Amino acid sequence: MAFLYHIVIWLFLISQCTGKALRNGKCGLNEWFDECGNHKECERKCNEEENDENEEVQC
């Protein structure tokens, strides 16, 4: 019986993250969706402008 509970929990966890990383019109060039569909922002590259002058980019 406990084995059945493990199967149910396992199936639930798998169902939460079944998509693949994708791009769509809502994302900018430096944005993407992770495998779970969460919107993520890409890290800045060395040639991109900084918003904070105090922050240094390490290449």
9-50 pLDDT per residue, tens: 888 877 766 555 555 555 566 666 665 655 556 555 565 555
Say if 35 falls within a structural domain.
Answer: yes
Count of domains observed in the chain: 1
Strand extents, DSSP E, 1-59: 31-33, 39-41
Question: Is 11 inside a domain boundary?
Answer: no
pTM recorded for the entire structure: 0.30
Domain that holds residue 38: 16-46
| CA-to-CA separations, 45 to 11, 26, 50, 52, in angstroms, rounded | 38, 21, 10, 14
Could you report the per-residue pLDDT of 4-20, keeping only the tens digit for each? 889 998 888 777 665 55
